[in-house]
Amino acid sequence: MTVRAVLKLNNNEVMEENKKNKLEKVPGRISRRTLLGGALAAAIIPVSSSFAKYIQAGVPLGPVNDPTKTIGPGPSILGKRSLFEHPVRKPSDISSRTPLQDLYSTITPSDLHFERHHAGVAAIDPNKYELLIHGMVDRPMKFTLADLKKFPSFTRICFLECAGNFRTGKEEMTPQDILGLTSQSEWTGVLLSTLLREVGVSDKASWFLAEGSDASLMTRSIPRKGWDEAIIAYGQNGEALRPEQGYPARLLLPGWEGNTNVKWIRRIEISDQPFMTREETSKYTYPVNGKIRMFSFELDARSIITFPSFPQKVERGWIEIRGIAWSGRGKIIKVDVSTDAGRTWDTAKLQEPVLDKAHTYFRYLWQWNGDATEILSRAIDETGYTQPSLQQLVAARGKDLGGYHLNPVTSWQIKNDGSVLFKPEDWR
């Protein structure tokens, strides 16, 4: 007998027993046979079934006509999303993008956090993990994962973002397609400054090299200005780091471009000069008016409207425009929203608490009259920096913008029929 047949049989028995006991007339009365039948339906599926390996105990195969008449699954060893919810990352060969349009909070679920790899995901045994700190120090030391967890822990919320987080080119693009290489988590670990006190850093030191354990041996030079907030993180959103986020430990530099936050970190070498590695010379640099800019660490303020956006559709009347804004240079203090293609701007409401170097939700109530228009948002951070238009970026950097640190204002087209399309812009 198939699994579905077993479940159908038990559901039929439950329904017959419900009729006998007239449950609709006696609230709260459930017979012993009904209870056992419902429990059986939620029990572990025998492994002899050809598709049992795809079914988790305690998870219903599908909705029931009346959940008040059927005993649901019991407790399970691991929670799962509703059968009706399907948020997923969008993967490519080297990255996967967060579905920004599907999130209800500024905290990204760990399994939806964006990925960017240079040689795949490293598999590291936490019992064999070691972090070496050496170079211009008094006491070179190795720290195991257990050692790191013995130090006072530190927790903060901040975003991560790839330096190449901007795509354009066609109208049928979602927020995930355009800016999906950013996510936000609550991170836990030990402050790097705590470890540096242990090893005794030379007063003449001004840089360190961070090296990862992946097959690319990702390395970046980090100047002293980034040391104070740096964390060696081993926790994310209340659990251990996911492997694709650097398990068992990674470097976290709040507000700095993604690849400086070296994952699977295994070595920190203290020095008095940058190391000029591949990822800061031939990569992660960009042209500015005929010259090449290096070491652009902080990420500038930006924002994106996540609702309404493609492929959503709206109706005439009141609409709450929603989105996120963030800056690597501090707090977001204001988000402006335009509903007339940028001719006029109004101030959106920011969701508290507004955190330093963190995604911030904004909301703006708008009454749409049914006419075609464009909606935009622009972020302003506590340094006074205002998110630029694409034309302003071109004026400041030249037409050859490269692919890094692009943070232009983005626009959504609202059509007469309520359909929403991205407005791509070509600067070349």
Q: Regarding predicted confidence, which is higher, 22 or 219? A: 219
Q: Mean of the pLDDT values across residues 371-400? A: 97
pLDDT for the residue numbered 64: 77
Domains parsed from the chain with CATH numbers: 3-69 (no CATH), 90-284 (3.90.420.10), 302-422 (2.60.40.650)
Edge to edge, the sheet with strand 420-422 lists 346-347, 332-338, 373-381, 411-414, 420-422
Distance of CA 273 to the CA centre of its chain: 33
Q: At 59, is the pLDDT very low, low, confident or very high (cuts 50, 70, 90)?
A: low
Q: Regarding predicted confidence, which is higher, 58 or 279? A: 279
The answer to which of 30-39, 181-190, 385-394 has the lowest mean pLDDT is 30-39
Question: What is the DSSP annotation of 282-349?
Answer: TSS-EEETTEEE----BPPPEEEEEES-TT-B--SEEEEEEEEEE-TTS-EEEEEEESSTTSS-EEPE
Q: Mean of the pLDDT values across residues 75-89? A: 95
Q: Mean of the pLDDT values across residues 370-377? A: 98
Question: What is the DSSP annotation of 393-407?
Answer: HHHHH-S---SSS--
Question: What percentage of the chain has pLDDT greater than the value 90?
Answer: 83
As a whole number, the mean pLDDT across the chain is 89
Q: Is 289 exposed, middle or buried (0-12, 13-18, 19+ CB in 10 A)?
A: exposed
Q: At 60, is the pLDDT very low, low, confident or very high (cuts 50, 70, 90)?
A: low
pLDDT for the residue numbered 163: 97
Q: Is the pLDDT of residue 36 over 50?
A: no
Q: Mean of the pLDDT values across residues 240-248? A: 98
pLDDT for the residue numbered 21: 43
pLDDT digits (tens, 9 = 90+) for 114-172: 999 999 999 999 999 999 999 999 999 999 999 999 999 999 999 999 999 999 999 99
Question: What is the DSSP annotation of 249-290?
Answer: -EEE-TTB-GGGS-SSEEEEEEESS----GGGTTSS-EEETT
The answer to which of 8-22, 86-100, 235-249, 367-381 has the lowest mean pLDDT is 8-22
Q: Mean of the pLDDT values across residues 28-45? A: 43
pLDDT for the residue numbered 153: 98
